[in-house]
Amino acid sequence: MRITEIFFSIQGESTHAGKPCVFVRLTGCPLRCTWCDTAYAFHGGTERSLDSILEEVARHGCRLVEITGGEPLAQPDVHALISALADRGYTVLIETSGAIDIAPVDPRATLIMDLKCPGSGMADHNLWANLPKLKQRDEIKFVLKDRADYDWAAEKVRAHALADRHTVLFSPVFGEMNPQTLAEWVLADRLPVRCQLQLHKYIWDPAMRGV
């Protein structure tokens, strides 16, 4: 597998926000979202063996692990890593764009599927056939750039009854959308979603890597 970085930090998003977590960031992504904050993971990285990755994760002494990117599911070997971590009793989170078939993912992992809104420039890459493949504990995230993104995401939540089965996360693009504005829209519409912030960007410098 080609790895950009492995680090120990506070989980900044999802229902696990605030918990200590080991992050395994894979290299490469087929998408180019306008607001992407991890473009440094598009290229480069280091080829690592499965054993070396598992050894480094174990050294951090934390049972929560997130595999992210880039787009981690773009590397077929990631499935061996997911299963190996689950075999060792880790709680495994997978951050994915939803543009790649999730069927091969080990069911013991929890998926956090980041469906792409129009403001990302990548909405046409959403693989809607993934939705019925999600497990109940999997989470769906929408990153919102503006009111148009909010309206689009709200319509998808209603049309697919997403909140009936999953935790749905609405996240403002950091530095572009005021979180208060998003919260007020959600309250006005009584939308059954969870507003979330990227917690790590409020704790550390938003441009800092490895946090």
Please, which pLDDT band fits residue 3 given cuts at 50, 70 and 90? very high
pLDDT for the residue numbered 206 = 85
Q: Give the pLDDT confidence score for residue 132 in this predicted structure.
A: 97
Average pLDDT for 13-17: 95
Q: Is 208 within the bounds of a domain?
A: no
**Count of domains forming the chain:** 1
Q: Which domain holds residue 56?
A: 2-203
191 inside domain: yes
The predicted-structure confidence for 132-190, as pLDDT tens digits, reads as follows 999 999 999 999 999 999 999 999 999 999 999 999 999 999 999 999 999 999 999 99
- Residue 87: is its pLDDT beyond 90? yes
The dihedral over CA atoms of 67, 10, 64, 2, expressed in degrees to the nearest 10, equals 20
What distance in Å separates the CA atoms of residue 12 and residue 205, rounded to the nearest whole number? Answer: 13
Q: Are the C-beta atoms of residues 28 and 55 closer than 8 Å to each other? A: no
Is residue 210 situated within a structural domain? no
Pairing label, strands 46-47, 2-10: antiparallel
pLDDT reported for residue 180: 97
Per-residue pLDDT at 80? 98
Given a cut of 90, is residue 211 above it in pLDDT?
no
Q: What is the CATH number of the domain that holds 139?
A: 3.20.20.70
Domain assignment present for 64: yes
Name every residue whose Cβ is closer than 8 Å to that of residue 124 and which is 6 or more positions away in sequence: none
pLDDT of 208: 82
211 inside domain: no
> Is 117 part of a structural domain of the chain?
yes
**pLDDT for 44-80, tens place per residue?**
999 999 999 999 999 999 999 999 999 999 999 999 9
pLDDT of residue 205: 86
Distance between start and end Cα atoms, the chain: 21
Q: What is the pTM of this model?
A: 0.94
- CB-based burial label for 142 (10 Å; 0-12, 13-18, 19+): buried
209 found inside a domain? no
Give me the mean pLDDT over the 20-35 stretch: 96
Residue 79 domain flag: yes
